[in-house]
Amino acid sequence: MRESLLNVNGQAHISGGQFNIVNNYPTSSPPKPTSAGFDRLHSQIAVTALHNALDSFESGRCHPNTRQLVLNDLFQFIQDDPKTRKKWILWLSGPAGSGKTTIARTLAYLCDEKGLSQSSFFFCRMDLTRNGIKPLVATLAYQIACRFPSVRDIIVAEIERTPHIFDLSVEEQFRSLIVLPLNDGGWEDDPQTARRHPIICIIDALDECEEGRSARYYQFRADEARHYQSEIIKTLYNLISDKDSPVIFMLASRSEANFRMAFNQIRHSTLRIYLDNSYEPAVDIRRFVMDKFEEIRAVHPLSSSLPRDWPKPTAVDAIVSKSSGQFIYAATVMQYVSSPWSDPAASLNNISDTLSTALSIKPFIELDALFTFILGRTRNWPVVSIILSCHILSRELSDVWFSLLLESFDHSVKSLERDLMDITSLVEIDSEKQRLIIHNESLVDFLVDAQRSGHFQIKLGRVASDSLMTVLRNRTHDDGDVILPLSAVHLVVDYIITSLPKITDRSEDLENLVLEFTREAVTTHPEPFLTEYGKGLLLKAISDSQIVCAFF
């Protein structure tokens, strides 16, 4: 029986998508709040999910004087008169590369600057600290607690009265840590203003909430993630069904089928904004491109060598046209042209062929042409492809796996800057975490799709097979020193569970190595090095891969 996706302590009755939860709490008065409760709240948050987080992968705001039309619509939603408000949830959607996250982040910054109360959470599938639902409510509640001292006291008291609060359902956490404290706390800082405009909770990239993927020994399944994402939407709707709700929600995601179905069910309470041509993206993209060219002329090390009439108006027109309304294309082009290690005029000339071809109605054809051009100029594609493969295979795992996989192919993180110098417009190196940061997720989609990438396709199955063989063979050195000690046996289990589904053509040697490790893991390693749950998932992964295992 599959484990429940929503954790509920108490009696839960589910009917027609509605959740009725009965919790048996003590009826005595809540304890006086202490710093311990606030420290507990802080320990549950995802710092990188904050809109202004230092370590966020994508901390940028909208380019100045762009996206004004959509931002105006968002502020109209936020500042709607509560006496006549009919929409309590706003869904911002659009295709990949349309700028949803940047718009959401800009909205959060602008709310801060305008004195409008906001609390935000930015999901990211590449960041294991914020690709699941676990820290969502705590992170939102923490921001509210920091803004309103009286509300903070109520939140902290609830945490101390109910120590298991973070193990309850998402709906119960929202109700106990956000809705009820706000109603009872009265927004002491400015109650009239706050009550005129409910707090806006901004939740970005809900499609990147892949609950369980960050949990050890959990084999992620896309259908479960989609189901869970839909349930989150229903949960938020339940919270605002009371028209006196102190919060409203802005959710941003791709316009995928499960989201359309979920929002269709609550259409009477939902305002939809889709990033299409009605928001005049070409005008904003042109302003962005022109400003970037001006910036190059002002600060680039080789700016003195640029012709006075550079760039030609036709080059700007071509970039805007090729973008087809998607900022991702223009941003990638300008990042390439502005590289401080290259002559901007030469870089622009280099991509002139991709800019001069006939306009396509499919924006990713143009983006793919740009990816193909940049990757085609790498001096050692075999090495670059291995590095990118290791990044893709390890991004679901802990940080240590990127360097381990590189070592399995006789590469090192120490040489990344040299090896990747030709594609700095596409990736950068996080030296602290010793991982890669890919500037846009479309590059990964491009690399694994043979129809899009052609001879630049990364064959993850082959790379996964080769790396897994090396990891299993070299778990100990010839002198007996352990590469992955007993305390890290779970790392190997994680990689087997992650990589096996990607390997379609397994050799007999690989199957034997997997079975040898599995036999040792399930019969030798005690907890906490490998839990019974972990052993069960390891055996299930082998069974799902149709590897015959004679000892279970």
**Per-residue pLDDT averaged across 290-300, rounded?**
97
| pLDDT mean over 112-129 | 91
Nearest Cα neighbor of 464 from 391, 393, 542 is 393
Q: Where are the extended beta strands (E) located within 254-306?
A: 270-274
Residues facing residue 535 across a β-bridge: none
Per-residue model confidence (pLDDT) at position 92: 98
Instruction: Check residue 549 and give its pLDDT.
Output: 64
Tell me the average pLDDT across 504-518.
83
Q: Locate 187 and state its tokens.
A: 């927004």
Whether 237 and 91 have beta carbons less than 8 Å apart is answered as no
Q: How many Å apart are CA 424 and CA 14, to the nearest integer?
A: 50
Q: CB–CB of 121/128 below 8 Å?
A: no
Task: Give the span between the Cα atoms of 221 and 215, in whole angstroms.
Answer: 13
Among 379, 367, 290, 300, smallest CA distance to 333 is for: 367
DSSP-based three-state secondary structure for 18: strand
Residues 402 and 412: their CA atoms lie apart, in Å, by 10
Residue 465 has pLDDT above 80, yes or no: yes
Question: Which one of 4.10.520.10, 3.40.1190.20, 3.30.565.10, 3.40.50.300 gives the CATH number of domain 11-278?
Answer: 3.40.50.300
Whether 23 and 10 have beta carbons less than 8 Å apart is answered as yes
Cα 541 to Cα 549: distance, rounded to the nearest angstrom? 11
| One-letter amino acid for residue 128 of the chain | L
- The predicted pLDDT at position 188 comes to 42
**Residue 50 carries which DSSP code?**
S
**pLDDT above 90: percentage of residues in the chain:** 40
- Position 25 scores a pLDDT of 36
* 341: confidence class by pLDDT, cuts 50, 70, 90: confident
Contact 194, 117 (CB under 8 A): yes
Q: Which residue has the tokens 């924006």?
A: 363
Could you say which DSSP state residue 116 is in?
A: -
- Cβ burial, residue 389 (10 Å; 0-12/13-18/19+): buried
Radius of gyration of the chain (CA): 26
What are the boundaries of each domain within the chain? Answer: 11-278, 280-376, 378-458, 461-552
State mean pLDDT over 28-57. 79
pLDDT of the residue at 433:
73
pLDDT-derived band at 4, boundaries 50, 70, 90: very low
Q: How confident is the model at residue 280 (pLDDT cuts 50, 70, 90)?
A: very high
**Is pTM, for the whole model, over 0.85?**
no
Q: Quickly state the pLDDT bin for 72 (edges 50, 70, 90).
A: very high
Residue 213: phi, psi to the nearest 5? Answer: -65, -30
Tokens 């009919």 sit on residue: 86
Average pLDDT over residues 69-98: 90
How many residues are there in the chain? 552
59 confidence band (pLDDT: 50, 70, 90)? low
pLDDT for 144: 96
| Sequence-separated contacts (24+) of 455-463 with Cβ below 8 Å | 456/371, 456/372, 456/375, 456/376, 456/381, 456/385, 458/385, 458/388, 458/389, 458/392, 460/389, 460/392, 460/393, 460/502, 461/502, 461/503, 461/504, 461/505, 462/505, 463/386, 463/389, 463/390, 463/393
For residue 56, the model assigns a pLDDT of 60
Q: How confident is the model at residue 96 (pLDDT cuts 50, 70, 90)?
A: low
Note the helical H segments in 115-256. Answer: 136-147, 149-161, 170-174, 180-185, 191-196, 222-239
Which range is least confidently modeled, 94-98, 329-333, 380-384, 505-509?
94-98
pLDDT of residue 10: 42
pLDDT in tens, 141-197: 999 999 999 899 999 999 999 999 999 999 999 999 999 999 887 654 445 544 557
Torsion-angle region of 327 (φ positive above 0: left; ψ -120 to 50: alpha; else: beta):
alpha
pLDDT of residue 28: 39
The tokens describing 27, both together, are 């009826």
Neighbouring residues of 181: CB distance < 8 A, sequence distance ≥ 6: 141, 144, 151, 154, 155, 158
Greatest extent of the chain over all pairs of C-alpha atoms, in Å: 78
Per-chain mean pLDDT for the chain: 81
